Amino acid sequence: MSSFAASEFAGRTARAQALMAEHDIAACLLTTEPEVRYVTGYLTRFWESPTRPWFIVLPASGKPIAVIPSIGAQLMGQTWVDDIRTWPAPDLEDDGLGLLIDTLHEVAPGGLVALPDGHETQVRMPKSNLDRLAQAVSLTSDAGIFRRLRMVKSQAEIRKVARACHIAGRAFARVAEIASAGVPLDRIFRDFQILCLEEGADWVPYLAGGAGQAGYRDVISPATATPLTTGDVLMLDTGLVHEGYFCDFDRNWSVGRPSAPVRNTHRRLIEATQSGADAAKPGATAATVFHAMNAVLAPGSTGTDAGRLGHGLGMSLTEWPSLIATDHTVLTPGMILTLEPGMALGDRIMVHEENILITEGDPIFLSPRAGPEIPII
């Protein structure tokens, strides 16, 4: 089922278990889509359904154990996982929790059971079940193990993100086919998703953007039916998926000739991106890259409300680290980051975004980087 070799998951599992041993963790419990997929390769869009909980128990040694609804047994059976325990979910009395607790008692008797915790995590089960679980086993944090592991991508993972970026790049290159003055923004959103699919996306989980005179109001809004007007800046920001891996970058266009502020802001955003890339070398921190970009943006401008100037990227649209002044994560080869500088123009903003791979030397742009001049449609 997965396009990875089983060795990919065996390696991830071994690395996790080595770190678990350092922290006296007897088993890890994984409950969210990327966590489950990271150690199993289990890839399905069925996570869109919030109904059923899914559990992976990673023992101190050996393969992961799947404790999952019976509807997933066939597909999980195509992964490298051998031990698949199922219940007929949904069960209103005991939705897998008894089976999970039995499994944890079996593989980690009396030991610490670790859940991913901290920034960007959640436990995907009802609160009362989590409370009951906490009574039955000794829960602890995974000490950031899955954060550390997932931040550094394998060559096989990097190829998938790069391919997602190429697909999005080809779609962005065709935007003039679908966007011009007079076309409603919601039609552009719909047609852009079609372009992404035509260029090879498996699906398009994320599309946001905006349009407005000399900038847009935010970067997370759905589209309205308002048609593009000459003088508008159009921005499209997409996270499309190729074999379970995301890209996440945007592009800006000027509808007709750009005003001087729009032109200059776009140039400044590209300059900030370059400055961020120049700083994004092994040994530097996420904060280093933030400051490199912010130094270009800050003079004469207020920031946006985005809260950061980029982030990690991979199995999820956004991952650790955050490009903020307080994130001291040290960059290492194999990390994939977005560089996402933004600037305010009065009550409007403009945001640019590229995706880079940290290497031993200069980073590699995975997205087909934009030039300093805002393109005209």
Write the interaction track for a second copy spanning residues 78-97; mark x where CB under 8 A is met and - where it is not. Answer: --------x-xxxxxx-x--
Strand runs labelled E in the chain: 25-30, 55-59, 65-69, 84-87, 112-115, 138-141, 203-213, 232-242, 245-246, 249-254, 310-312, 319-322, 336-339, 342-345, 348-351, 354-357, 364-365
Question: Closest approach of Cβ 342 to a second copy, in Å?
Answer: 10
**Of residues 51 and 230, the one with the C-beta less far from a second copy:** 51
Question: Closest approach of Cβ 247 to a second copy, in Å?
Answer: 13
Residue 56 forms beta bridges with which residues?
30, 66
Give the integer Cα–Cα distance in Å for 132 and 317. Answer: 32
- Stretch of 63-71, 151-159, 273-281, 353-361 lying at the interface with a second copy (CB under 8 A): 63-71
Question: Closest approach of Cβ 151 to a second copy, in Å?
Answer: 14
Question: Closest approach of Cβ 61 to a second copy, in Å?
Answer: 25
Angle separating helix axes 6-22 and 33-40, nearest 10 degrees: 110
- The token pair that represents 354 in the structure block: 């590229």
Which residues between 312 and 371 bind a second copy (CB under 8 A)? 316-318, 322, 324, 326-327
Give the integer Cα–Cα distance in Å for 89 and 233. Answer: 48
The residue count for binding a second copy (CB under 8 A) is 78
- Cα separation values, 353 from 180, 250, 315, 372, Å: 22, 5, 18, 13
Among 70, 138, 230, 302, indicate the residue that binds a second copy (CB under 8 A): 70
Which residues between 146 and 205 bind a second copy (CB under 8 A)? 186, 189-191, 193-194, 197-198, 200-205
Are 245 and 164 a contacting pair, CB within 8 Å? yes
**Of residues 83 and 186, the one with the C-beta less far from a second copy:** 186
Question: Closest approach of Cβ 43 to a second copy, in Å?
Answer: 6
Give the integer Cα–Cα distance in Å for 143 and 23. Answer: 8
**Of residues 6 and 14, the one with the C-beta less far from a second copy:** 6
Q: Rule CB under 8 A: is residue 48 a binding residue for a second copy?
A: yes
Give the integer Cα–Cα distance in Å for 283 and 38. Answer: 26
Among 99, 141, 178, 301, indicate the residue that binds a second copy (CB under 8 A): 141
Give the integer Cα–Cα distance in Å for 173 and 178. Answer: 11
Question: Closest approach of Cβ 361 to a second copy, in Å?
Answer: 29
Question: Closest approach of Cβ 117 to a second copy, in Å?
Answer: 5
Which residues between 19 and 38 bind a second copy (CB under 8 A)? 32
**Of residues 110 and 307, the one with the C-beta less far from a second copy:** 307
Q: Rule CB under 8 A: is residue 309 a binding residue for a second copy?
A: no
Give the integer Cα–Cα distance in Å for 286 and 303. Answer: 18
Strand 138-141 versus strand 112-115 pairing type: parallel
Which residues between 204 and 243 bind a second copy (CB under 8 A)? 204-208, 217-222, 239
Question: Closest approach of Cβ 249 to a second copy, in Å?
Answer: 14
Angle at the Cα of 267 from the Cα atoms of 261 and 365, rounded to 5 degrees: 150
Among 24, 102, 106, 305, indicate the residue that binds a second copy (CB under 8 A): 305
Phi-psi region of 144 (alpha: psi -120 to 50; beta: other; left: phi over 0): left
Are 60 and 131 a contacting pair, CB within 8 Å? no
Among 110, 127, 260, 371, indicate the residue that binds a second copy (CB under 8 A): 127
Question: Closest approach of Cβ 72 to a second copy, in Å?
Answer: 7
Burial class (CB in 10 A: 0-12, 13-18, 19+), 81: buried
Q: Rule CB under 8 A: is residue 138 a binding residue for a second copy?
A: no
- Stretch of 98-106, 169-177, 301-309, 356-364 lying at the interface with a second copy (CB under 8 A): 301-309
Question: Closest approach of Cβ 166 to a second copy, in Å?
Answer: 16
Which residues between 95 and 124 bind a second copy (CB under 8 A)? 95, 115, 117-124
